Homo-oligomer: A and B are copies of this chain.
C-alpha cells in the first residue's frame, strides 16, 4: 500500500509517494509559502499531483513545531507564524483523505527506525543536528509522542545551568552547544581567540562568520581550530547523550542532520564524552552510535509510514 509523505520545511515543501519498504517512487518540491492558507493549498496541490492514478492509502505531513496529542493541531510553530492552527482539518478538507501530522524530528526518527540506521533495534534515540537540534525517541518500537504530543524535544534539555540563552525562552539548552549554529559559533570564537592557529581566522568574513564550505575544507584538512570546534560540539552532544541514556536507555543513538556529514570525525569524540558522562559507567550496557542513512528524506519517509499505520 502506498502512502504520501510531505515534509514542510522552512524554505521548501518536499513530498513523495512512499512504498511499504520506505522507497520513494515519485517526488515533488516547491517553495514554502509564508501564508498558512497558501501553504495548505500548496500541500493539497502537491498531494493531488503525486496521487494521480495511484492507489494511495494515507497522507502524512511533517512540520516543525509543537503538535497536539491528537496529531491534528499545530500548537506553535517556529518557522511559520502558527498558533493553534488546525492544519489537519484544513488539509483533509482540501485533500478528501485522512491526514496525520507529525513533528519533523519525530518523523525523521521514525524513518530511520523503520528503514534506516535503526532498523535492527527497538529502542532508539535520534538527534538531528541541523541549524537547531531535533530529537525523537523510539521506546520498545513505539514513537514517544508524549501526553501532550510534544515529547522528544531533546534539543532543549538543559546542558549548562545558567548557560547560553536559547530561542525557546530558556538558557543553557543543548541546542546552543550542539547544532549547526553552535558549530559556527564555536568556530567564530576560536577564530577570534587566536588559539589553535590561524586557519579559522583566515576564512572568517568581515562579520566574523566562518562560512560552512570553508569550515568543511578546514576540517578535511585537519586544521586544529576547526577540529577543536567539532570537538566542543561533539563533547556537548556526548555528555547530553549520557543523560538521555539514564532516562530513555536506548540501544542506539542515530545522529542526523547536516553536521552528521562529519561522520566518524563527529562520532568518535561523541562516544568519548558519552562514556565520561554516563551514570554507572562500567556496570551497565552502553549504547551504540550511528550516522543516519536516509539523509533529508528521513522525515518524508517516516511520516508516510506513520500515516499508513495510523489511519
Contact = CB atoms under 8 A, between A and B. Distances in A.
Contacts of A54: 96
Contact of A154 (B55, B151, B246): B246
Interface size class of A (residues with CB under 8 A): 35 or more
A248 interface: yes
A255 B90 CA distance: 41
Contact of A123 (B76, B147, B243, B252): B147
Interface in A155-182: 156-161, 166, 168-170, 173
Contacts of A248: 144, 146, 151, 247
A234 to B, nearest CB: 16
A311 interface: yes
A148 interface: yes
Residue of A147, A277, A279 contacting most chain B CB atoms (<10 Å): A147
A280 B93 contact: no
- Interface majority SS on A: helix, strand, loop or mixed? loop
A290 interface: no
Interface in A201-247: 239, 242-244, 246-247
A137 interface: yes
A75 interface: yes
Contacts of A1: 98, 311
B146 A250 contact: yes
A210 to B, nearest CB: 26
A66 B247 contact: no
A247 B139 contact: no
Contacts of A249: 144-153
Interface stretch (A192-200, A264-272, A281-289): A281-289
Given A55-B98, A93-B55, A247 B284 contact: no
Interface in A278-307: 278-285, 287
A246 B248 CA distance: 13
A56 interface: yes
A186 B225 CA distance: 42
A279 B168 contact: yes
Interface in A118-137: 121-124, 135, 137
Interface of A: 1, 51-57, 66, 75-76, 83, 92-93, 95-98, 121-124, 135, 137, 139-140, 142, 144-154, 156-161, 166, 168-170, 173, 239, 242-244, 246-252, 277-285, 287, 311
Given A66-B284, A75-B283, A148-B249, 19 more contacts: A51-B96, A55-B95, A55-B96, A57-B311, A66-B280, A123-B151, A124-B147, A147-B252, A148-B285, A150-B280, A150-B284, A151-B248, A153-B279, A156-B243, A156-B279, A157-B247, A158-B243, A160-B161, A170-B281
11 contacts: A66-B284, A75-B285, A76-B280, A123-B148, A124-B147, A146-B249, A156-B246, A158-B242, A161-B161, A169-B282, A170-B281
